[in-house]
Each structure stands twice: as C-alpha cells, then as structure tokens.
C-alpha cells in the first residue's frame, strides 16, 4: 500500500491530506474531535499535490490525529 501525507500548513481547515494508492484521498483537520477533524474521503483521479502542501511523515502528524487514523485503520 502506497501512502502519502501532505500538510498545507493550515491554509485550509482540513490542512492534512492522505493519499492512498494514488487514488483515495482523505482530508482532515489537526483535531479529530472538532467539526474540522473527521476524516473526509473523496475519490481523486487528478490531484494537484502542490495544492495539498508539503510531503510529511506519519510521525509529523499531531498525536490525536495519529491515534484517530490508527483507530479507523483497525476497523
């Protein structure tokens, strides 16, 4: 599975973007408990990665967001 994580530095409320296998795109805010925090899924065929922000590692995500992602992945 190929996963890329982008951070747009807070330009938008859903500042983080996860791209899985170059197709499934999840956007999320830094706080998974806020109305901007839930993981939103959209199918993407042509995503402008410059718009998505800079590429980061999973460990660079906020702790609460990493926990939410791990919880959702285990379901």
Residue with the two structure tokens 């990493």: 66
pLDDT higher than 70, residue 68: yes
What span, in angstroms and rounded, lies between the C-alpha atoms of 37 and 16? 10
Q: How confident is the model at residue 57 (pLDDT cuts 50, 70, 90)?
A: very high
- DSSP states along 15-37: -EEEEETTTEEEEE-S-TTSTT-
What span, in angstroms and rounded, lies between the C-alpha atoms of 19 and 5? 6
pLDDT digits (tens, 9 = 90+) for 5-45: 999 998 888 889 888 887 778 888 888 777 655 566 666 65
* pLDDT computed for residue 9 by the predictor: 92
CB within 8 Å of 39: residues ≥ 6 apart: 18, 26, 27, 28, 32, 68, 69, 72
pTM: 0.77
């Amino acid at each position: 599975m190929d996963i890329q994580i982008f951070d747009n530095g807070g330009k938008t409320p859903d500042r983080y973007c996860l791209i899985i296998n170059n197709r499934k795109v999840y956007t999320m805010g830094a706080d998974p408990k806020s109305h901007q925090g839930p993981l939103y899924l959209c199918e993407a065929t042509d995503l402008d990665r410059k718009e998505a922000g800079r590429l980061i590692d999973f460990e660079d995500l906020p702790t609460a967001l990493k926990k939410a992602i791990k919880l959702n992945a285990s379901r």
